[in-house]
A and B are shown apart, each in its own frame.
Chain A
Amino acid sequence: MGTLTALMNLSREALQADQTALNVTSSNVANQNTVGYTRQVVSWQTTDVVTLTGTTEGVAATVASQRDRVLEMRVQQQTQVQAQSGAVAVALGQVQNTFGISSLSTSAGTTALGLAIDSFFGTFAALEGSASDTAMRQSVLASANTLVGTFNSAAGQIAQVSAGLDAQVSGSVGRINALTATIAALNLQITAGSAGQDAGGLEDQRQTAIAALSQFVGLDQISTDHNGIALTTSNGSMLVSGGQSFALTTTGVGGVTHLVSGADGADITSGLTGGSLGGMLEARDQVLPKYAHVLDQLAYGIGTQVNQQSALGVDGYGAAGQAVFSLSAGVGGAAAAIGLVMIDPLRVAAGAMGEGSAGSGNALALADLASAHMVQGQTAAGFYAAFLGQVGSDAAGATTNSTAQQAILTQLTMQRNALSGVSLDEEAAKLTQYQRSYEAAAKIFAIVNTLLASAINLGVQTSVN
């Protein structure tokens, strides 16, 4: 049920974002001629309001042009949302593969780390019955070595996914800078009137470049005098102002690439959203560190508990038990740092204090750690299972969100293309067709929703009016 809840929450969040974006657009359109109205996100200055020529043809042409701009803006906004959700989905898919889970299975016991944890504690249980068996002692160390290797590998793979995203972030900057330079150059030509050149064609080129830029990064667009355009990132850093572009630069902070504004030298990494860059930063800086921390908690929890219990026992030489694992000083980086320090099978502290070197009481205590609440109030297996469930849920939710955003973008693009350059009568016919599609699909949804709500006892059904 956790997966379903996460999916539904994700969808609702996406819808709310979509609703907000469209409300802004609708408000802008409704207040097209309102003196003093300040538009949000995209601000059209008073100079950009439709200029009446006094002739029917001129008006019609201007209206069509204005209509295109609104739809174009919606497509751009949706492109940015879709590109971000797509980048997050790809990154989470890679993490999911790292832990060996699929969209249909998040069973901890079948993953490499889940098996390694079970096997490690299982060998202590086996040792309890034959503490003097050197081969049994060796199997404890072998399973400990496997556990260490699996932790190291998982941490390394998360780091690799993060490094891959980091490289993509750096690569995106060059593309973004090339596009902003192009847009600035076109701005210059358009605002200068460019004698002998087709201004409409130049605007088309600029629009194409802005659409390409939307794939990379979330944008706010401001119309300026003489049909110029200023562009900022979603967090307000200037990218293009008239004929000037402000190239983003990169700098290394804590081993990762940060983005620096070309306009004022500020680090703009944390507030960047939208586009593939927004998605990559979200995955790199928010999602992956969260997963790495959970893995560190697990490694540190198992390592410290096992070392402490080992110290309470007696080894095969009759000496006090030693640490099995080497650990980092704290939780941070524990999964990557955990190592096996015990190499002599006779050093395994199977005996309890007072039992002597042939005892097995401590082996039983070590085996019992499998059911102890050693990590955040949960057993190691339970904590790991919850983590895998979260990864699976996140990945499924991201995929669902990405698919939905792509479908919405496809529809918007189709509608924009269909409405561009046709007469008002044809537009009315197209609208009727869209309405018909919508109504049929809404009925299908209502039926499906009823079937599924009944099947899984959702209780409250969702409706689409």
Chain B
Amino acid sequence: MLQHEDGLAGLLDETIAALAGGDGERLEGLQVRVAAIAPGFESGQVRADTLAKRDVLEALLRGSRLNLDLLRRLQGGEARDRWER
């Protein structure tokens, strides 16, 4: 359990760094690695720092979603058409 959790915590760290840096290729590799450890992950106590990393990733994902929406709106044809009218 401990080894699995250490591995998961490390993967969360890597995911946070890759997402903050917009590294899609690295994230796809991480996705495969996380999926690989999932079957062996056992129920039990989870450390607070692992949960904290999960929360950081969740916050970052929501921030990413908002940023993407903003970027799309700025880049999108709708705004450009209006400005060029």
A: which residues have CB within 8 A of B?
Answer: 3-4, 7-8, 10-11, 14-15, 18-19, 22, 25-26, 29-30, 32-33, 50, 52, 59, 62-63, 66-67, 70-71, 74, 103-104, 396, 399-401, 403-405, 407-408, 410-412, 414-415, 418-419, 424, 427-428, 431, 433-438, 440-445, 447-452, 454-456, 462, 464-465
Contact = CB atoms under 8 A, between A and B. Distances in A.
A90 B30 CA distance: 31
A8 B74 contact: no
Q: Which of B11, B42, B65 is most buried by chain A, counting CB atoms within 10 A of its CB?
A: B65
Interface residues of B, number: 58
Given A25-B70, A70-B70, A448-B57, A440 B83 contact: no
22 contacts: A3-B48, A15-B59, A15-B63, A18-B62, A22-B66, A25-B70, A33-B82, A50-B83, A52-B84, A67-B75, A407-B60, A411-B64, A419-B71, A424-B80, A431-B72, A434-B64, A441-B18, A441-B57, A441-B61, A451-B38, A455-B41, A462-B58
A441 B64 contact: yes
Q: Ordered nearest first, which 10 A-B pairs have the shortest CB separation?
A: A404-B59, A440-B27, A408-B63, A436-B24, A437-B24, A410-B20, A407-B20, A441-B19, A400-B52, A22-B66
Given A63-B84, A67-B75, A403-B56, 9 more contacts: A25-B70, A32-B79, A63-B79, A63-B83, A400-B52, A408-B59, A411-B20, A419-B75, A437-B27
Given A8-B55, A452-B46, A443 B31 contact: yes
Given A404-B60, A464-B62, A414 B55 contact: no
B28 to A, nearest CB: 5
B66 to A, nearest CB: 4
B31 A444 contact: yes
A431 B71 contact: yes
Contacts of B54: 445, 448-449, 452
Contacts of B71: 71, 415, 419, 427, 431, 434
B43 interface: yes
Q: Is the interface of A mostly helix, strand, loop or mixed?
A: helix
B8 A437 contact: no
A450 B43 CA distance: 11
B74 A29 contact: yes
Interface string B37-52: 0100111111111111
A455 B51 CA distance: 11
B73 A26 contact: yes
Given A408-B59, A435-B68, A455-B44, A440 B24 contact: yes
A63 B85 CA distance: 12
Contacts, number: 211
B7 to A, nearest CB: 11
A7 B63 contact: no
Given A408-B60, A434-B68, A67 B82 contact: no
A456 B42 CA distance: 11
Contacts of A103: 48-49
A39 B74 CA distance: 17
Contacts of A8: 55
Contact of A400 (B11, B55, B66): B55
A159 B72 CA distance: 49
A407 B16 contact: yes
B83 A62 contact: yes
B30 A396 contact: no
B72 to A, nearest CB: 6
Nearest to B59: A404
A32 B68 CA distance: 19
A85 to B, nearest CB: 11
A418 B46 CA distance: 38
A70 to B, nearest CB: 6
Nearest to B83: A50
A29 B73 contact: yes
A20 B60 CA distance: 16
Contacts of B65: 438, 464-465
B6 interface: no
A267 B54 CA distance: 40
A433 B22 contact: yes
B42 to A, nearest CB: 8
A43 B47 CA distance: 45
Contacts of B55: 7-8, 10-11, 400, 404
Contacts of A7: 48, 51-52, 55
A412 B68 CA distance: 10
Interface string B4-25: 0000100110011011111110
